[in-house]
Amino acid sequence: MSAAETGGASAPLTSDQVLDELDFLTKVCHAVLVEALTIQGAAGRDLPADQFGPINDQASGLAQVAGSIAQGEMFRLRRLNDALLAAGRPGETGRAASISSDSVPEISLAPLTPEQFIDIVPRELAIGRAIGERYARLVPAVTTAPVFSGDLLPQIKGVIEDGQGYPAELAGYRDPLGGVPSGKVVRATRREAADDSEQNLLDTSDRAYRLLVELLGMAFSPPPDGQLGFSLQPAIEAMNITDGINSELTRRGLLPPFTPDS
């Protein structure tokens, strides 16, 4: 298992080791984004209460926080990919299966189960701490012992500084709940389809998600010499379609599947 997978501290990092870690943290960003969208759906998004929307102010606040985190992760995913491309690395749209750090044991980033919604706050705090620690390990490589130069140094430094905000960002899930376990306010936590119609909807959501990831991969790839790069616009349109399908899932009390690649 590599250092990027374990998060273990060691000797000063080389530029390749920093970029390997940023590649992994880009995959983590994808996983955090998926989890935020899942929590947003479970809390009811912005739907009416009689359509599995938020049942009270706590649920509404949780949905809003999750939506804000998801939006932030979308922008972060772009910044991380821009930095990888600037460093001569390929873009990254993969999704991490787990996260750990020096003080945080391995946490699975697989799709949330209904049981995990009983109290999501401890989990999100631990994830935030683990990610923050991993970014903190990279700081000397862009400050006291820089391993990058030119325009690349401030770009890499910027994404590392940004990543250290994860603990505070994911602690935001705690604020709207006011000490109430999330299981008391979420409603749309079912994963199993009740009939063929619901199964078709779940399958369609997954197809839209896979298309979105594929389009992002094209947008985050360096263009061939002499050719235009692939626009983000198709990915944005696919994102809107995926969001609409997942809103319909929430209306039926279902979680979006976001099935990871096998």
228 — pLDDT class (breaks 50, 70, 90): low
Helix (H, G, I), strand (E, B) or coil at 196: helix
Query: Is the pLDDT reported for residue 197 higher than 70?
Result: yes
Confidence of residue 223 (pLDDT cuts 50, 70, 90): confident
Is the torsion defined by CA of 190, 191, 194, 199 positive or negative? positive
pLDDT band at 261 (very low <50, low <70, confident <90, very high): confident
Residue pLDDT, tens place only, 58-109: 999 999 999 999 999 999 999 999 999 999 999 999 999 999 999 999 999 9
CA 220 vs. chain centroid, Å, equals: 16
- CB atoms < 10 A from the CB of 175, how many? 11
Q: What is the mean pLDDT of residues 37-49?
A: 97
Which residues make beta-bridge pairs with 108? Answer: 98
What per-residue string of b and e applies to 43-70 under the rule 16 or more CB within 10 Å gives b? bbbebeeeebbbeeebbbbbbbbbbebb
The token duo for 62 is 């949780």
Is residue 104 within 8 Å of residue 130, measured between CB atoms? yes
Going along the chain from its start, the domains and CATH numbers come out as 3-190 (1.20.1260)
